[in-house]
Amino acid sequence: MRMNDGCADPHGRFWADSMAYDGTPDAGSLYRGPAWSGAVTRVFEGITIPNGPAFDRDGTTMYPADSARGPARPHSADPRDGGLGAGEESVRVDDGSPDGMTVDAEGALWTAVWGAGEVRRYLPDGTLGTVLRLPETQPAGICLGGDDGSTLYVTTARVGLPEPGPLDGAVFRARVEVPGLPTAAYRSTEA
């Protein structure tokens, strides 16, 4: 097993997901680390290739993805204890795999689409809003940053490519209209 992705939510809790090195179906889990309670909790299991999660501005919606299956299912998140509601499929990726994700200031989900050479912006209702094409097929990680939060940074990967090109494994950037959210910080004690 190995850890794959993680982030802090706006309330200071750390979330991280695990998967099998060989991609064994359903072997992965999502964990919620302590903000101030001191306990790590397995939130759900049965994930094959977990990515994300990403959170909205107030931490009441969490987007995890299982890249092996394609959907990103938003879950309601309780700001008090990090408990999650049932996820509903709203973002379906059929021509690639959702990978790195972030949420912008309007609550739209941005996701790198591994295998499709795209980064997509989905509106809060799941409607596809923006598609950015990349010259490489394996975008992996994304974030919104820069001085005004309106620069999208995209990393690409070389892993698994029989003949990687000169830009596989590079970092790209593009200007976008809606800025990202400030990065949430992990807090080991209650604020």
pLDDT digits 0-9 by tens, 152-163: 999 999 998 999
pLDDT tens readout for residues 88-139: 777 778 888 999 999 999 999 999 999 999 999 999 888 999 999 999 999 9
Residue numbers belonging to the annotated binding site for substrate:
2, 4, 22
Residue 111 pLDDT: 95
Residue numbers belonging to the annotated binding site for a divalent metal cation:
51, 99
Residue numbers belonging to the annotated binding site:
2, 4, 22, 51, 99
Residue 50 is encoded by which pair of tokens? 């977990």
pTM of the model: 0.91
- Which residue numbers are catalytic? 99
Q: How confident is the model at residue 45 (pLDDT cuts 50, 70, 90)?
A: very high
Query: Residue 102 forms beta bridges with which residues?
Result: 110
CA separation for the pair 60, 38 (Å, rounded): 21
Residue 38 pLDDT: 67
The yes-or-no verdict on residue 140 having pLDDT over 80 is: yes
Q: How confident is the model at residue 52 (pLDDT cuts 50, 70, 90)?
A: confident
Residue 35 pLDDT: 61
The yes-or-no verdict on residue 191 having pLDDT over 60 is: no
**Residue for token pair 């709203």:** 90
What number is the average pLDDT over the span 64-86? 86
pLDDT tens readout for residues 16-40: 999 999 999 999 999 998 766 667 8
The yes-or-no verdict on residue 181 having pLDDT over 80 is: yes
What number is the average pLDDT over the span 4-9? 92
- Which segments of the chain are extended strands (E)? 2-8, 14-19, 28-32, 41-47, 50-55, 61-66, 71-72, 75-76, 91-92, 97-103, 109-114, 118-122, 128-133, 139-145, 151-156, 171-175
Q: How confident is the model at residue 71 (pLDDT cuts 50, 70, 90)?
A: low
The mean predicted confidence, pLDDT, of the chain is 90
Residue 185 is encoded by which pair of tokens? 């910080």
